[in-house]
Chain A
């Protein structure tokens, strides 16, 4: 009614009621139970098998056995090296593909963001075994790609031309392709989340101070999206380095990865203990890698909120 300058009283901030120690324990119980059943117990079982022999006595022999002969040592280095190398390449390719995609998604309209997210999620709803079989079909000697080439050759034959058939399956490239295909969404999502949360006023502030679009990306957007990149790298590298199915189906026998070896140890039935020992070594490597990544993302959490 009267003056338009009249102001409403400031709303008081709500504060959570203090929780008693008893309530806190009660609220934590489900999480603790989950941790015990799904993390601690399996971990203890792996450790038990790794440090015991077939009859349940403590031994370091399982580890010693892995390093017993020069040939065994060479196999160990070869398989671990290959796993790490493929996983690194797959992670790098995922990052190169994911960053621009996440950037485009974060800068699209709301409707487009929803649709792109959908396109990203749908392949994740399909069983990854089926996806991997599909890739086998696509890449194999008589698969879809070579079928296409054969069709083209049919058309070209009057001209005396022919394209060579492609031998793509059972190559390192096929394994890496499988990794990238399966784990790409795990790279896109964390980067997208960080970019979408980045305050537009920071970009405007940079433009305002004279930064071109590329300079904004280099000096503001990229550094502030590092936490997302770091968690994306972790989420792609860890499953890639430990995968077994992808390499078996797309890599044939020559591209054995550490995951295959572990799987064979258990499923081949000859050594739970050997498999457990390999698992522990793999876990150690992953923990080291994650600590390195954490170094990059440390202190950056929440930094993107202006």
Chain B
């Protein structure tokens, strides 16, 4: 067991109406860490957060804070605070009273409450908004009030449930930076729930990728991106070309009908594997000098780079490159050994395919459907 563990979840299982939501989940959270639970809606990330917050008791397993068992301890006695999906600001109180709410319950003196509230409002850049009603604030400002309210009581751990889901893209980027700054400045442990992989990659110290109530992978953002454990993680985090391959021997893999050198080892001889190649790791070369050859079927200009689909013997590759190509070009594809990542076959292997149904839609901005589902998930929990 590592040092500095604040929260330890051991063998947590939860089901609603016989439907398993979390299956034997094990997770520990270090002090002052920014940890993100990442996964599609219904993966159990919000449920995990609610178990830590004390709004839900697991069917089995232990919730441990600082080495002490906290199962059954109600929310108001836990050293954690939550920022809710839709902020849940008190509509009958003004900004100041919202932030001071928790402080009053702590039984602090008026001066202390005032000092800490004013200080918190300054931290979130809302000085001067004290007397405003929360309904008159913009989404971003309400978000800041929620942050100030939760942090004013100085929790050991702050739980954030898709806090930026309701904001537009630009504001979201700004708030990402700001949240990260606040976290580092105050030294509070953040447990952050999101379905936005980009958000997770740019903010987190540790990412926990979840699906179907199970942890798929835990790691630093770069490790998760570069070394996904299975096809689900490779597919969910960033864009991936995932091909069926056969590991011929250590450092030698065959896929797309060609043999490649690679840097992976430790598989059985001729073991079927999933091969991951990131779109930006593919080199576009002259048709005759690439190991693979294909026809460009679709090109999108993305500003910094081009993104195009290449049909290689029926498999559609997604490639990002600064080289200009046009639809109909035949190009060669070269891949360096270190850009090839080999994964063991998993239950997700059959679920992922090529980019034949590719469209620009995946440029994710905000997805109302998914937010709705997440909301339903929350309601089901309650």
Interface residues, chain A, CB within 8 Å of chain B? 1-11, 199-202, 204-212, 215, 219-220, 223-224, 300, 303-306
Does any Cβ of A come within 8 Å of B287's Cβ? no
- Closest A residue by C-beta to B382: A200
List, in ascending order, chain A residues with CB within 8 A of B370's CB.
7
Report yes or no: A10 in contact with B101, Cβ–Cβ below 8 A.
no
- Closest B residue by C-beta to A303: B91
Q: In the complex, A6→B153 CA distance in Å? A: 39
Q: In the complex, A163→B25 CA distance in Å? A: 67
How far apart are A110's CB and chain B's nearest CB, in angstroms? 12
- Which of A4, A200, A208, A220 contacts B75 (CB under 8 A)? A208
- Name B's interface SS: loop
Chosen A-B contacts, 21 in total, with CB atoms closer than 8 Å, are: A2-B356, A3-B236, A3-B352, A4-B235, A5-B235, A6-B362, A6-B364, A7-B362, A7-B365, A7-B370, A204-B84, A206-B90, A207-B54, A208-B81, A209-B76, A210-B106, A211-B76, A215-B105, A219-B101, A224-B90, A306-B91
List, in ascending order, chain A residues with CB within 8 A of B76's CB.
207-212
Complex interface residues of chain B between 42 and 93 (CB less than 8 A to chain A): 53-55, 74-77, 80-82, 84-92
How far apart are B1's CB and chain A's nearest CB, in angstroms? 28
How far apart are B270's CB and chain A's nearest CB, in angstroms? 28
Does any Cβ of A come within 8 Å of B341's Cβ? no
- Closest B residue by C-beta to A11: B368
How far apart are B102's CB and chain A's nearest CB, in angstroms? 4
Known contacts: A2-B352, A7-B370, A10-B365. The answer to whether A210 contacts B102 by CB under 8 A is yes
List, in ascending order, chain A residues with CB within 8 A of B361's CB.
6-9
Does any Cβ of A come within 8 Å of B40's Cβ? yes
List, in ascending order, chain B residues with CB within 8 A of A6's CB.
359, 361-362, 364
Q: In the complex, A305→B81 CA distance in Å? A: 22
How far apart are A6's CB and chain B's nearest CB, in angstroms? 4
Does any Cβ of A come within 8 Å of B357's Cβ? yes
Complex interface residues of chain B between 365 and 379 (CB less than 8 A to chain A): 365-370, 378-379
Report yes or no: A2 in contact with B92, Cβ–Cβ below 8 A.
no
Report yes or no: A202 in contact with B88, Cβ–Cβ below 8 A.
yes
- Closest A residue by C-beta to B370: A7
Does any Cβ of A come within 8 Å of B272's Cβ? no
Report yes or no: A7 in contact with B101, Cβ–Cβ below 8 A.
no
List, in ascending order, chain A residues with CB within 8 A of B105's CB.
209-211, 215
Report yes or no: B197 in contact with A5, Cβ–Cβ below 8 A.
yes
Report yes or no: A8 in contact with B53, Cβ–Cβ below 8 A.
no
How far apart are A227's CB and chain B's nearest CB, in angstroms? 10
- Closest B residue by C-beta to A10: B368
- Which of A5, A10, A205, A210 contacts B366 (CB under 8 A)? A10
List, in ascending order, chain B residues with CB within 8 A of A209's CB.
76, 81, 101-102, 105, 149-150, 153
Does any Cβ of A come within 8 Å of B355's Cβ? yes
Report yes or no: B369 in contact with A205, Cβ–Cβ below 8 A.
no
Does any Cβ of A come within 8 Å of B290's Cβ? no
List, in ascending order, chain B residues with CB within 8 A of A304's CB.
91
Known: A205-B84, A210-B77. 10 other contacts (CB 8 A): A2-B358, A4-B236, A5-B235, A5-B362, A201-B84, A204-B82, A209-B105, A210-B153, A219-B101, A223-B92
How far apart are A261's CB and chain B's nearest CB, in angstroms? 42
Which 9 A-B pairs give the minimum distances between C-beta atoms? A209-B102, A205-B88, A201-B88, A6-B362, A210-B105, A207-B75, A7-B364, A303-B91, A7-B367
Does any Cβ of A come within 8 Å of B219's Cβ? no
List, in ascending order, chain B residues with CB within 8 A of A205's CB.
82, 84, 88-90
How far apart are B43's CB and chain A's nearest CB, in angstroms? 10
Does any Cβ of A come within 8 Å of B117's Cβ? no
Q: In the complex, A2→B382 CA distance in Å? A: 33
How far apart are A305's CB and chain B's nearest CB, in angstroms? 8
Complex interface residues of chain B between 144 and 185 (CB less than 8 A to chain A): 149-150, 153
Does any Cβ of A come within 8 Å of B353's Cβ? yes
List, in ascending order, chain B residues with CB within 8 A of A2's CB.
235, 352-358, 362
Q: In the complex, A211→B366 CA distance in Å? A: 34
How far apart are B176's CB and chain A's nearest CB, in angstroms? 17
- Closest A residue by C-beta to B77: A210
- Closest A residue by C-beta to B91: A303
- Closest B residue by C-beta to A207: B75
Q: In the complex, A224→B54 CA distance in Å? A: 24
How far apart are A228's CB and chain B's nearest CB, in angstroms? 13
- Closest B residue by C-beta to A6: B362
Complex interface residues of chain B between 191 and 236 (CB less than 8 A to chain A): 197, 232, 235-236
Q: In the complex, A66→B101 CA distance in Å? A: 55
- Closest A residue by C-beta to B379: A200
Does any Cβ of A come within 8 Å of B239's Cβ? yes
